[in-house]
Chain A
Amino acid sequence: MQLKHIYIGFLGLIVLSSFAMIQDDNIILDLKLLTTQTEFESGSSITLKFSTSKMSDLILYCSSSYGTTLLSPKVEKSTITYTIPDHISNKSGQVQWQLINGNNSLSGQFNIIPKSDVATMETYIGPPSIEAGGTDYTMLVVIPTDRLDNPLPKNTLVNAKHQFLSSQFSDSITTNHIIAYKTIYSKNESGRILVSSESSNTNSKEYSITVFPAIPTHFKISAKQPHNYADGNQVTTFETSVIRDKLNNIVSDGTYVSFFITNSKGNKLKTSGTTINGVAKAMMIHPDHQTQWTVKGYVDGISESDPISVNFKQVIEDFDVTFSNNNRLISIGPLQSFMNQLIPDGFKVELLLYKNDKLLNILTKTSIDGYVNFNLTSNIATNDTYTIVIKSAGLEKAFNTINVW
C-alpha cells in the first residue's frame, strides 16, 4: 500500500517537473538589436549587439554568399554581442542573420561593401593576335578588386589604355556585374598594341596584342637568271614584288606563295617560296632542252600575279655517238654547251633499247666531263640486233639494226 503511494508521489513529481520545464521554455526573452549600422566596409570588425532582458547565450545563425555559420555571443549584463568572423566580414556582399529565440526569432541583414581603394587589377585579354583592317578585335576585361579581393561596386571607373604606333588611347569604362570591358579594334596598320588599365591610381601590368596584316592582294613576279640557256644545271630564281594586304601592310613573314610553271608540253611544274618582308623567292633548276615557261604566282584562294614567260635556248645542238666493243659500249659526247665548253657533269642522257619496235629497256646515265658511256652487258642485251635510240637535251638519235654480239 505504502509503496503505491510512493509511486504516485514520484510520478506526480515527474509530471510537475515537466511542467516546470515547459514553463521555463516558454519564457520569451525581450531581445532588441542595438546595432544600427547596416553597411560595413569589408575588412572592418563587425559586431551585432542585442539588448536582452535576461542573461542568455542564444546562437546567431549567420549566412553570406561564402557560407553559413553559427555564432556564440559574448554575454554582458544586459547585452549580448556577436562578432562576425573574418571570413565573412572580409567578403563584400549581403549577410543575413537570425537570432533563434523560439517563435520569437529576430532576423535581419546587413551589407558589406568593398573597400574603396583598388588594390589589384585582375585583367584578361584575348585573343592575343588579331588582323589589321578594323574588323577584327580583341577584348580587354578588367576586374578591379580591393585589398581583400572583393570586386569593386558597380560603375567603378576604369581607364582602359592602349598604345598603337604613335598614338595612345584612353577610354573610361565602368564596371558592371563585376567586370569592365573594352573591345579594341585593329587599325589599318599591322603592328603591336600594348594594353593596360587603371582604376583609382592602381595600374595593371602590360599586355600586348599582335596585329597581323590582313590577307595578301595581287602582286607581280619576276625571274632572275644567270643565263637563259637550257643547260639543266643553273637555277632561275622567281621573285614576287612586295606583297601587301589591301591596307598596304606587308604580309606576314612566311606567307606561302606557289609558283606554277607551264612548259611547252603543257605540263605543270611547281615551286614555292615563303615571304620575307613581303617578297617570296622560289627557285627552279633550268630544263635541259629548249622550252618556254609560263609562270604564275598564287596565294591559294586569295591572290595571284600576272603570268610571265621565260624562254630557254637550246644549249646542245648535236652530239656524237660511237659504238665499240662489239657494239656493247656506246659512248655519247662530247656534250658541249653554248660556248662550246663541256657541259657540267650530271647532264642526263637516255638510251632506249628496242627490239622490233618493242621497247625493252630505258637506261639513264649522267655525263662526266662531257661524255656518257653505256655498257650493254649481257643481262641487258643478248647477242642480237636492236634499235638503239639516244635521247638528250630534247634531241633524239636512232640507230637501227645495231648488231650486238
Chain B
Amino acid sequence: MKETTNKYLIAALLLGLTFHGTSIFFTLESTYDALIHLFFADHYANSWFEPWNYKWYTGFTVMSYPPLVHQSIALFSIIGGLKFGLFSVALISIILFITGVYRFSLLLTGHKTVAGYAALLAVFSSSFVETLHVFGQLPSIIGISILMHALPEIYLWLKTGKYWYLATSLSLISVTVTSHHVTPIFGMVFFIFPLIGMVIMDVAKETSGSIKSVNFKVFLNSFLKLFKRIISFGILSLIIIIGCILPYWINSKNNPITQVPIPHGSRDNFLEVTSSGLVFFLIPWGVLLILLPYIFYRYYSKRYLFFGLSITILTVLGTGGSTPIPRIVLGETAFNILTLDRFTLWASIMSLPLLGEFAYRFIQGDLKTLIQTKFGAVYHRISGGILAGLFIFMTIFTMSLGYFRPSQPQQIKMLPIVNFLNQDDHDKWRFLTLGFGDQMAWLSAQTNAMTVDGNYHSARRLPELTTRPIERLENSKFKGVAGIGSLQQFLTTPEKYNLKYIFSNDKFYDPILYFCGWQRLQQLENGIMVWERLNVPPVSSILPKEDVSKWQKLLWGIVPLLTVLIAFILNIQMLWVHALKTKIKKAPVFFSFKKEYSKFSNTILKLTHLWSVILAILLCFCVYQFYIKNDSQRSPENAIMAYYDALDFKEFESAYNLINPKSNKTIRQYMLEVSVTDGLLSSYAKLDAISSEIINQNDSLAQAKVITHWITPLEKIQRIDYKSLTKQNGKWFLEPDDIDTDLPPDQLYSNATTSYFNQGRRRITTEQTHHEDVLKQPVLEVLSAKLVKYNTHYAIIGEVQNIDNVPADIVLKGTLYDANHKELATYNAKYHMKHKLMPKETTSFKINFEGIAWSKTKDSIPHTFNPDEFTPVELEHQPITFNIQAAGNVSGSDLYKNVVLSDINFSEDYMYGTLFNSGLQEITVPQLLISYYDENKSIVWVDHLFIKEGIRQQRQQGFQYDLISNTTIKIINESMENIYVNGLPNEPISNKIVPDRIEKHLNLELQQINHPDFSYIKVETNTYIGNPN
C-alpha cells in the first residue's frame, strides 16, 4: 500500500502557519507573557552560563524558570535580534502544536482522516488562540505540544516493548521538561496515566478478544504483564524530569515561594466575576461546550475510561473558585499558587481528538447519515452552518479580545528611554516604570540599567514586595491599598534601593510622586515623563549575588539544548519518513484499535440537542440580564451608575447624554465645565465603589443619595452627592449640577518670579563632573525636632528652614534608637513636609516610621483601599533617642508658592476656610500642613489635608478640616543634639549663617484655637501643579 499524504494535516499546517504566522506580529507583543520570555532570552543572549540577573528585583536567578524556550530565542537572536528569535520560536511552537494534535489524535482514534480533522480544527481552537495570542505562553504551548508528540512513542514502548520507543519517548519528555516544568508533572497525571490505562485496555482486548469481554481480572493481568515497562518508563521519566532541570528544583527548594499569593482571575468565582469566567472558562472551551455530552460519552467508553476520569478532573479543576471542589482537591496552598486556567487548557486540548472525530462523523460519517435520515439534509446543513459559524465566531472573538479589551497600555517607543538611560550615566541608578504593563520587560531587555521592579513575581526577593499580593509596582494602582502602599515605600525611601529615575506613562501616579519629594525632569519624545529624586547615591559597582556551583551553571547551559539535539536525532528518521513518504512504513500498532464509525448513538444525539437547548437558554438569559443591567436609563439607579461610569472613564459625551435635555445645558457648556475642573478627584481618581440610595421617587422625579468611593494615589476619598433625576419619555435623566460662578477681576495677569536653572553637566564630557561645577548643598536649619508618641506609634516632628540663598530640595531621614543606642528604625519624611523650599522658607515636618505592612499577619490584609493608611513599624524596644539627617540639594523645580490662606474660621471640632490662588499656574492638588501647638506654643503634632478640588488661577477654593481629637500625644525626647545637616552638626553650622536668630519668631502668628488638647495651630500650604506652563 502506498503511503498517501494526509491532505488535512498539510492544509492544517499551511493554514496554521499563514493564520497565526501573520497575526502573531500584531498580537504577541501585547500579550501578558511574551515580553517576559523575551527578557529572559536577552539574559541568556548576554550571559548564557551565568544564571544571576541583576536587572530585576535587586537581583534574581533565572534558574527559577525552565530555560529551553528562552535559550532558543537567545540563539535565534544572534541571527536577527531578540524579536526575530521570539517570532521564530512562536512559529516553531505553532508547527509543533498542530503536528502534536495530529499525532495525539492519530494515537487515540487510529484514524488518519479523523486526526487530520482534529489538526485542522486545532489551528482555530479558541484555547490555542487564546494561549498564544492573548496570554503569549510560549513555553506552555511548546511543553504541551512536545508532550503530545511523546504520547504515541510512550504508547508504542508500553505496547511493543521496543527500546527504541523508550528512547524516543524519554527524549521528548526531556524536551518538555526543559521548556515548561508544570506541563510534564501534571501531564504525567492527566495525559500519561490515562494513556497507560488505554494501553492496558488494548492489551486486555487482545488477550480477551473483544473490548466487551474485558473485565477487571483481565485488566489486572494485562497490567501485571506490562508492569515492568510501565515502571521502567515511570522511573526513567522521573529521573529525566528531575535531572534535566535539576538546578531549578534545587533553587525552588532553597528559595521556596513564601510570598503572599497574588490573586489570579482563574481562581475567581466565574459566576460572580464574569470577565474571569469569559477569559478562563468560556473562551478556552468555546464550541467544545456544545459537544461536552459527546466528549464525555466517548471518553467514558471502556477503552478511553481513564481519559474520561482525567478530563473530568481537569474540567472540574478548571472551574476555579466557582465550585469549592478545586480548593478542596488541591489544598489551600496549591490552589493559591497554581493558575487554574491551565487545567481548562489541557481539558480543551484533550478534547481536540474527539472534536476531530465528531467533525469527521458529522461531515462524512455515520452522524451525517443519522441526521439526514432523521431530520433531513437541510437540517444537517443548517446545524453544520451554525456549528461552523459558532466555531469561527469564537476564534475571531478570541483573536480580537486584545483589541477590544487591551490587556496592555499602548505600545511605547522604547528608544527614547533607552537613550536616556544610556546618557550621562543615568544607568548607574535603578529606575522604575509606572503604567508600562508588561512592556517593562522589553525595556529591561534593551538597557543595562536595573530596576527595583520586575515582571516575574515568583522571583521577587525584597520583603516589601513578597509580603504583598502585587505582581509589580508598575501597575500598583490596580492592586488597591497593598499596591500603592508598596509603591509609597519605594518612593519615600528610594536611596535604600538606589532608585533615582521613574518613567511614568500614567499620570495617575503624579501626585504621589510629587508629594513624596520627586521632581519632573523632562518629558521624553515618546510622551513618557521622567521623574527624578535628588540625593540618591548610585548603585555600588559590586553587587551581592547568590552564586551557585559551576556544575549547575554548566548543566543549565548545556542540557536543555542537548535534549533538543538528542530528541531531534532520535526522531528525525520518523519525521523524515512521515513527511516525505520515502518508504512504506508499517502502520503503528494503535491503528489496529481503530473504532469503526458505523452507528452514531441516538441517545447522544438527543442529549446533545437537549444540552444545546439548555446552553441556548442560558445564553439568552445572560444576554437579557446584561441588557437590563446596562440599559442606562431604565431606572434612576441605572442612570446614576451609567453617569458615574462615564465620568470615571472620561466619556463625557455619554455622561452628557444622561443630563436632562431640558436643562438648557448645551454639550459645549457641559464640556467646558468639565474642562475647567481639575484636582485630585476629577483628574486623579478612579471610581472604586458606588452605591446609590433612592430617597424618594415618583413617576417622573427621583432624589438619590449617591455614595462614591474613589481611589486616588494619595488617599481614599468618600463622597456623598445628592442627585435629582427626572423621567422623560420613559427615560431617566440627571439634573445638572451648579457650577461655581466666581469671576476673577481681571482678564490678563502678570507676575514676576525668580526662576532657577541648574546646568547639571556644564561641560559636555563623560568625565566625572568637575569639582567647580558641583554646587554647594544648601544649608538648612532644623529649628525644632521632637520624638513623639501618638496613640501607639512613634513619629519625629519639627520644623526645618532653608537658611541658604538658593532654593533647596529637602530629604529628611529620621532614625530611632533605644536606651542602649541600638538602631530601631529608619524612615524618611513622606508628604508631611514641603520638599521644596525657597531661601529662608520654613516647613513643618513629620517622619512616620512605616513598617513592611502585614508581614506578620497575612490574614489581616484589609480589603478596603486606603493608601493614606500605613502600618507602623514594630519596634523591639521603646525608642528613647533619635537622629535626623537633613540633606539639601539645589533644585529649581516645583517652587510655586502662590497659594494664599484667604479665610479661616472655626467651628466646634473643625476649621473651614478658603484658599486663593494668587499666581499664574493652576493648582491641581493643594495640600494643607497643619501643625498643632500646646499652650507654651511648642509644636506637638503635624497633620495634613489634601484638598480634593484644584484651584484655578486667581480663584478661591473652600476647604474643611476636622481637627484631630481624642488622642494621646506624649513627647518622648526633644533633644536637638543629634541633628545633622548635609552631614554636619545642625547647631554650629546654623549659628554661622543666622547667629542672632529670633527664636520662635512666628509664634506670634500662631492661630489660637478652642480645643481640649491643643492651644494653637499653624496652617502651611503646599501645592502640586499637574500641568506646569
Query: Chain A: residues with CB nearer than 8 A to chain B?
Result: 124-129, 131, 135-136, 207, 212-213, 215-216, 226, 233-235, 251-258, 260, 262, 265-276, 281-285, 287, 296, 298-304, 344-346, 364-368, 377-380
Contact = CB atoms under 8 A, between A and B. Distances in A.
Given A127-B776, A304-B1001, A274 B992 contact: no
Contact of B999 (A131, A296, A301): A301
- Which of A127, A345, A379 counts the most B-chain CB atoms under 10 A from its CB? A379
Interface in B533-584: none
B705 A366 contact: no
Given A233-B745, A344-B743, A285 B900 contact: yes
Interface string B1001-1024: 110011110000000000101000
B753 interface: yes
B916 interface: yes
A253 B754 contact: yes
A301 B998 contact: yes
B916 A301 contact: no
B708 interface: no
A276 B752 contact: yes
A215 B993 contact: yes
Contacts of B897: 256, 272-274
Interface of B: 695-696, 703, 705, 722, 724, 738, 740-745, 752-754, 756, 771-772, 774-776, 783, 801, 803-807, 837-842, 895, 897-898, 900-906, 916, 918, 954, 956, 958, 992-994, 997-999, 1001-1002, 1005-1008, 1019, 1021
A215 B1002 CA distance: 17
28 contacts: A126-B776, A215-B803, A252-B805, A252-B806, A254-B756, A254-B895, A255-B805, A256-B897, A260-B1002, A266-B1008, A269-B904, A270-B1021, A272-B897, A276-B753, A276-B754, A283-B898, A284-B900, A284-B902, A284-B918, A285-B918, A287-B903, A300-B801, A300-B840, A301-B997, A345-B743, A366-B740, A377-B724, A380-B722
Given A271-B902, A285-B902, A299-B840, 13 more contacts: A126-B772, A136-B992, A252-B806, A254-B756, A256-B897, A268-B1007, A274-B897, A301-B783, A303-B998, A344-B743, A344-B745, A364-B958, A377-B703
A126 B994 CA distance: 21
Contact of B1005 (A135, A298, A378): A298
B1005 A296 contact: yes
Looking at chain A's contact residues, is the secondary structure mostly helix, strand, loop, or mixed?
Answer: strand
A212 B695 CA distance: 66
A344 B746 CA distance: 11
A299 B842 CA distance: 9
A135 B992 contact: yes
Given A267-B905, A269-B903, A271-B901, A255 B838 contact: yes
Nearest to A275: B754
Given A272-B897, A344-B743, A284 B1005 contact: no
B691 to A, nearest CB: 16
A247 to B, nearest CB: 14
Contacts of B1006: 268
Closest 7 CB pairs of A and B: A346-B742, A283-B918, A256-B841, A212-B805, A252-B805, A345-B743, A260-B1005
A291 to B, nearest CB: 10
Contacts of B772: 125-126, 128, 207
Contact of A379 (B703, B902, B1008): B703
Contacts of B956: 285
Contacts of A299: 840
A285 B743 contact: no
Given A252-B805, A302-B998, A235 B745 contact: yes
Nearest to A213: B805
Contacts of B752: 276, 281
B916 A285 contact: yes
B840 A256 contact: yes
Contacts of B994: 215, 301-302
Contacts of B1021: 270
Nearest to B1018: A268
Contacts of B695: 378-379
Contacts of A267: 904-906, 1007
Contacts of A265: 905
A285 to B, nearest CB: 5
B789 to A, nearest CB: 28
A215 B1006 CA distance: 24
A304 B1003 CA distance: 13
Contacts of A275: 754
A354 to B, nearest CB: 15
Among B742, B839, B903, B1021, the one with the most A-chain Cβ atoms within 10 Å of its Cβ is: B839
Contacts of B754: 253-254, 274-276
A266 B1002 CA distance: 16
Scoring B895, B905, B916 by chain A CB atoms within 10 A of each residue's CB, the highest score goes to B916
A50 to B, nearest CB: 47
A271 B1019 CA distance: 11
Contacts of B804: 212
A36 to B, nearest CB: 45
A344 B776 CA distance: 50
Nearest to B890: A129
A137 B1006 CA distance: 38
A129 B776 contact: yes
B976 to A, nearest CB: 14
B142 to A, nearest CB: 59
Contacts of B997: 301-302
B52 to A, nearest CB: 37
B1002 A298 contact: yes
Contacts of B900: 269-272, 282-285
A135 B776 CA distance: 17
Contacts of B1019: 270
Contacts of A235: 745, 918, 954
Contacts of A258: 1002
B1002 to A, nearest CB: 6
A256 B756 CA distance: 15
B993 A346 contact: no
Nearest to A369: B741
B759 to A, nearest CB: 12
Given A345-B741, A346-B740, A379 B705 contact: yes
Nearest to B775: A128
Given A267-B904, A270-B901, A346 B918 contact: no
B1001 A366 contact: no
A128 B771 CA distance: 9
Nearest to A379: B703
B740 A378 contact: no
Nearest to A258: B1002
B703 A378 contact: yes
Contacts of A207: 772
Contact of A254 (B807, B901, B904): B807
A265 B906 CA distance: 11
Nearest to B1016: A268
Contacts of B906: 267
Nearest to A377: B724
A255 B839 contact: yes
Contact of B742 (A260, A301, A366): A366
A80 to B, nearest CB: 46
A379 B776 CA distance: 62
A285 B956 CA distance: 9
Q: Which of A251, A270, A276, A367 has the most CB of B within 10 A?
A: A270
A300 B902 contact: no
Given A127-B776, A253-B754, A368-B741, A300 B705 contact: no
Contacts of A251: 805
Contact of B805 (A129, A284, A380): A129
**Most A CB atoms within 10 A — which of B724, B776, B958, B997?**
B776
B703 A282 contact: no
A288 B771 CA distance: 56
B992 A271 contact: no
A22 to B, nearest CB: 52
